[in-house]
């Protein structure tokens, strides 16, 4: 079955906009768990713009479903991950000035460094995922460094859709399709995420190699109108319909 990982970062974005104690991302995570999330994703950014260290402590304490800890490849984040030993870590590129994770990780260029970086995480029992664009050399490099999972970056595909650039969207979807098959043929588990919405999720959910989608910003926004559980239920229905 295709798993849905719910990213609760942007509950913390709303909280931090006022420097208040609410809304609590851990409460959202528990609600998502009750509504059938297969996992919770949280990105502890270097600048702590949304999720805070205390949120990670509380999530590790509170969750019954796996936590997917998104992190940059820095010593600070590695130490935090090794302290908590979450079920999964997803290594993402991070730039201070970006609004969100803009591109995939440059694995091919930093192969040695990343291989050394992920080894202790794997040894600690974390399932290591690498967030990359649908690009063959990056997938081959992710495989060589010993990642168990790749998460394909669906941001460009979603952006093209909303910009009405449908030829480019379809070309990107074709790349994602081909690279999901390629990664699977190497023995990598394939995940996908970033920017997915009700309008864009189905062609990605239909890819048979994709085992997990990680979705956050849209779901948290949609939950203003529907509530988090109904927003998730509609996403789940679309994912299952696409798969069927
Ligand atoms: N997957 C990864 C690796 C991400 O970095 C993000 C954004 O934090 C997501 C999935 C979720 O993206 P969105 O919030 O746009 O749904």
SS3 of 205-242: the string is HCCCCEEEEEECHHHHHHHHHHCHHHHHHHHHHHHHHH
Q: Is there an atom of ligand 1 within 6 Å of 196 CB?
A: yes
Across the chain, mean pLDDT equals 96
Q: What is the mean pLDDT of residues 101-128?
A: 93
pLDDT at 96: 61
DSSP state letter for 129: E
Q: Which two tokens stand for residue 42?
A: 């949280």
Residue 165 has pLDDT above 80, yes or no: yes
Residue 99 has pLDDT above 80, yes or no: no
* Set 50, 70, 94, 161: catalytic member: 70
Geometric angle at alpha carbon 243, from 164 and 185, rounded to 5°: 90
Is residue 130 a contact partner of residue 179, using CB atoms and an 8 Å limit?
no
- Residue having the nearest C-alpha atom to atom 1 of ligand 1: 193
Q: Is there an atom of ligand 1 within 6 Å of 209 CB?
A: no
> Percentage of residues in the chain with pLDDT exceeding 90?
94
Average the pLDDT over each of 108-112, 167-171, 176-180 and give the range with the smallest value.
108-112
The CATH number of the domain holding residue 91 is 3.20.20.70
pLDDT at 43: 97
- Encode 214-243: b = buried (16+ Cβ within 10 Å), e = exposed: bbbbbbbebbeeeebeebbeebbebbeeee
Interval 143-158: pLDDT, tens: 999 999 999 999 999 9
* Cα separation, 212 vs 223, whole angstroms: 21
**Any bridge partners for residue 105, and if so which?**
none
Total number of domains constituting the chain: 1
Q: Is there an atom of ligand 1 within 6 Å of 219 CB?
A: no
* Cα separation, 170 vs 188, whole angstroms: 24
The residue that leads in pLDDT, 87 or 103, is 87
For 40, the domain range is 3-243
pLDDT at 104: 85
pLDDT at 97: 62
Give me ligand 1 centre to Cα 7, in Å: 7
Q: What is the mean pLDDT of residues 109-119?
A: 96
Is residue 76 a contact partner of residue 46, using CB atoms and an 8 Å limit?
yes
Confidence of residue 193 (pLDDT cuts 50, 70, 90): very high
Q: Residue 111, Cα to own-chain centre: how many angstroms?
A: 21
Q: Is 161 considered catalytic here? A: no
Give me ligand 1 centre to Cα 162, in Å: 17
pLDDT at 102: 73
Q: Is there an atom of ligand 1 within 6 Å of 138 CB?
A: no
Residue 212 has pLDDT above 80, yes or no: yes
Is residue 215 a contact partner of residue 201, using CB atoms and an 8 Å limit?
yes
Q: What is the mean pLDDT of residues 18-29?
A: 97
Q: Which residue has the tokens 């081959």?
A: 140
Q: Is 43 considered catalytic here? A: yes
* Cα separation, 93 vs 65, whole angstroms: 25
Cβ contacts of 77-86, under 8 Å, gap ≥ 24: 77/44, 77/46, 78/117, 78/120, 78/121, 80/44, 80/53, 80/56, 81/121, 81/124, 81/126, 82/120, 82/121, 82/124, 84/56, 84/57, 84/60, 85/124, 85/125, 85/126, 86/60, 86/126
Q: What is the mean pLDDT of residues 96-125?
A: 88
Q: What is the mean pLDDT of residues 77-87?
A: 98
End-to-end CA distance of the chain: 10
């Amino acid at each position: 079955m295709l798993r849905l990982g719910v990213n609760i970062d942007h509950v913390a974005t709303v909280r931090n906009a006022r420097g208040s104690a609410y809304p609590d991302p851990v409460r959202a995570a528990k609600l998502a768990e009750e509504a059938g999330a297969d996992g919770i994703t949280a990105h502890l950014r270097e600048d702590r713009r949304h999720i805070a260290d205390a949120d990670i402590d509380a999530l590790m304490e509170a969750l019954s479903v796996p936590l997917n800890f998104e992190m940059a490849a820095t010593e600070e984040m590695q130490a935090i991950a090794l302290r908590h030993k979450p079920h999964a870590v997803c290594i993402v590129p991070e730039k201070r000035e970006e609004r969100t994770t803009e591109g995939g990780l440059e694995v091919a260029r930093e192969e040695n460094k990343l291989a050394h970086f992920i080894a202790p995480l794997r040894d600690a029992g974390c399932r290591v995922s690498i967030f990359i664009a649908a690009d063959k050399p990056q997938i081959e490099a992710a495989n060589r460094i010993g990642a168990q999972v790749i998460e394909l970056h669906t941001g460009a595909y979603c952006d093209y859709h909303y910009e009405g650039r449908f030829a480019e969207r379809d070309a990107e979807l074709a790349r994602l399709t081909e690279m999901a098959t390629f990664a699977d043929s190497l023995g990598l588990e394939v995940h996908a995420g970033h920017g997915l919405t009700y309008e864009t999720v189905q062609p990605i959910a239909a890819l048979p190699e994709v085992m997990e989608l990680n979705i956050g910003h849209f779901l948290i926004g949609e939950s203003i109108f529907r509530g988090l559980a109904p927003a998730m239920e509609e996403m789940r229905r679309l994912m299952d319909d696409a798969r069927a």
